[in-house]
Structure 1
Amino acid sequence: MPRKLLLMVNPAAGYGKGAKIVGEVEKFLRTNDLVYESFFTKKGQNAKAIVKRRLDESFTDLLVIGGDGTLNDAINGIGDNTQVVVNVISTGTGNDFIKSVDVGSNLLQQLDTLLHGVEKTIDLGVCNERLFHNGVGIGFDGQIVADMKQKKKPLLLWGYGAYLYRVLRILSSYQEKQLSFSIDGKKYTKKVLLLTVANGTTFGGGFVLTPDAKVDDGLLDVCLIERILPWNRFLSLSKLGAGRHGKLEEVSFFKASHVSIEADKKQWMHIDGELLGHPPFEININKKALKVRVRASV
């Protein structure tokens, strides 16, 4: 069956990177005789609904130009249509998804994957009926996303620099809050710096919070970080970046099928880097839920 692509472009992703490269991508599609239709997302627009409406049976592929949040909208628009293959051109500030799924690390590699890659079936998480490809986070990292949503970026800082500024500022002052949750039915009430429920490995553009996570193992990976004194947090930051924080006594890892988080208006939560709101949340794994085109093995 000849391939036909629906091209979804977030022009604002990566502070305008999506808009800058779309012409090059479309030229590549035409040069390689790939049939496509395209649309651009807009702020405040329901991109999920547009994907759901436009992605009819004539399309074999969805090509997403954007960051992790754009991809989250896309997969929720696809829903249970497991025949469509997702292709990714990453233009966000974090691009955490491509750290767990090898689609290539730059535009040339990702275009080659689009043309010559192979299909890989991966799991998706489900949080209160919303799908996620990478993970959800509550506590410290949820507060960072809330802060980015509610406040202007710092002057003279862009992209990942603006994000890292907020990480360091909030890290020094964030107060752990008591959280009640259960993992596969076992209940916990703890003072939590961070609780991440993941399908992928990496968050915040480079923090390997769940280093053992696999996107096709049928399980969620949970990283729990309890109370760490403020001056020790900065010493632990490099371990988070390298995925070596498992040696810290405040850190616990779990493999799970279901995570339940009780109602708490003091806690913020994100899903794939986008603000989700406050608990309660029910989180499950949806096995073999999405086809992604990845680099062919060499």
Structure 2
Amino acid sequence: MGKRIGLVVNPTSGKNRGGALGIEVANRLRAHGHEVLELSDETAEAARDRAIGAIAQGIDVLAVAGGDGMVHLGVNLCADTKTPLAIIAAGTGNDIARGLGLPVHDPIAAADVVGSGIPREIDVVRHVDARGDVRWFAGVLGAGFDSLVNERANTWPWPKGRMRYNLAIARELPGFRAIPYAVTVDGVRHETAAMLVTVGNGQSYGGGMRVCPDASFDDGLLDVMVLHDISTLEFLKVFPTVFKGTHVRHPAVEILRGREVTLEAEGIVAYADGERFLPLPLTLEVVPAALTVMVPAVPGG
């Protein structure tokens, strides 16, 4: 039986491959008898509004094609609703898709997951501001050196992709000093000077940096990774080990776990799922099974 599938595509993701991949997926879904509603628009805000309308009208699945930024949009549309989210991974990082075992840059396999995959409930992380507005993320939130690098990189129109991030690291690192933090986990307050603090529902961010290597999408807990104050030279030594997750063996790395986390620091803007989130201070809580995602019917397939 065919499904009504809403599709939002970021055409510029994955070095402009997102648009082509979205078209391939839509064509395959239609060939298999599904109705595809094109919800993309000129701006993310307009696409969001169209998707909200489609969800209100009762689509069977909302599919987003792009990188982690598009996943972030989809999470905020589908969290705490009955509408499943399907992820068509077309970005450069794709950390959430990889963490869920989804196909990457494979339109045929992605379309099969959208149309005939199985639903999986996962935890997502919620922030509620003073006005009662809610924001969600699914993967990792970073608040420290990494977010300062993002803030700097986002002011540059060139170069694109990873090179811009690497150049921002080179500019930010020489003058960087450890940041005074207060990190409160399930009511227990920790005060420290740290290079960065991450909060993970998923394991990785930034295209494979496994900052919270033991985090799980469905354990009802957040993993908080604190990299305490170390020298610039030591930081450069530790940094490459994050891609294997072995940085957690370093004596300056501390892992905390809990259901609610409050981060406090001056002048830090947090990034979540690769997107600019909110300035600190902020309180985050894990909401178990608050999001349904479509995953392959056969693991790895």
Using the alignment, how far apart are the partners of 2:136 and 2:35 within structure 1?
Answer: 28
Deviation, 1:115, is 3.5
Using the alignment, how far apart are the partners of 1:46 and 1:72 within structure 2?
Answer: 16
Change (3 A) 1:176 1:283: same
Question: In the TM superposition, what whole-angstrom CA distance separates every residue of 1:74-130 from its partner, at most 9, and x where no partner exists?
Answer: 22123421x222111112221110121011233133223223422111010112321
Using the alignment, how far apart are the partners of 1:206 and 1:168 within structure 2?
Answer: 20
Deviation, 1:138, is 0.3
Deviation, 1:186, is 0.9
Aligned to 2:97: 98
Aligned to 2:194: 192
Give the match's secondary structure for 1:40. coil
Residue 142 in structure 1 maps to residue 144 in structure 2:
no
Aligned to 1:77: 77
Q: Which stretches in structure 1 are left out of the alignment for 5+ residues?
A: none
Alignment of structure 1 residues 112-261 onto 2, 5 Å: 112-128=112-128, 129-154=134-159, 158-261=160-263
Amino acid at match of 1:101: L
Q: Check whether the contact 2:209–2:244 (CA below 8 A) recurs between aligned residues.
A: yes
Give the match's secondary structure for 1:14. helix
Using the alignment, how far apart are the partners of 2:44 and 2:122 within structure 1?
Answer: 29
Question: In the TM superposition, what whole-angstrom CA distance separates every residue of 1:152-203 from its partner, at most 9, and x where no partner exists?
Answer: 233xxx3233333434543444222111221111112211111111110001
Deviation, 1:52, is 1.7
Compare 246-255 and 11-20 and name the one that shifted more.
Answer: 11-20
Question: In the TM superposition, what whole-angstrom CA distance separates every residue of 1:20-79 from its partner, at most 9, and x where no partner exists?
Answer: 322212211121111110122434635443322221343110111111111212221234
Compare 67-76 and 10-19 and name the one that shifted more.
Answer: 10-19
- Aligned pair count reads 293
Aligned to 2:88: 89
Moved over 4 A (4+): none
Compare 283-292 and 95-104 and name the one that shifted more.
Answer: 95-104
Using the alignment, how far apart are the partners of 1:232 and 1:247 within structure 2?
Answer: 14
Give the match's secondary structure for 1:150. coil
TM-score of the two chains, using structure 1 as the length reference: 0.91
Compare 271-280 and 103-112 and name the one that shifted more.
Answer: 103-112
Change (3 A) 1:201 1:79: closer
Deviation, 1:5, is 0.2
Using the alignment, how far apart are the partners of 1:47 and 1:265 within structure 2?
Answer: 34
Q: Check whether the contact 2:93–2:206 (CA below 8 A) recurs between aligned residues.
A: yes
Using the alignment, how far apart are the partners of 1:48 and 1:255 within structure 2?
Answer: 33
Amino acid at match of 1:55: I
Q: Check whether the contact 1:51–1:74 (CA below 8 A) recurs between aligned residues.
A: no
Q: Which stretches in structure 2 are left out of the alignment for 5+ residues?
A: 129-133
Q: Check whether the contact 2:10–2:65 (CA below 8 A) recurs between aligned residues.
A: yes
Amino acid at match of 2:122: I
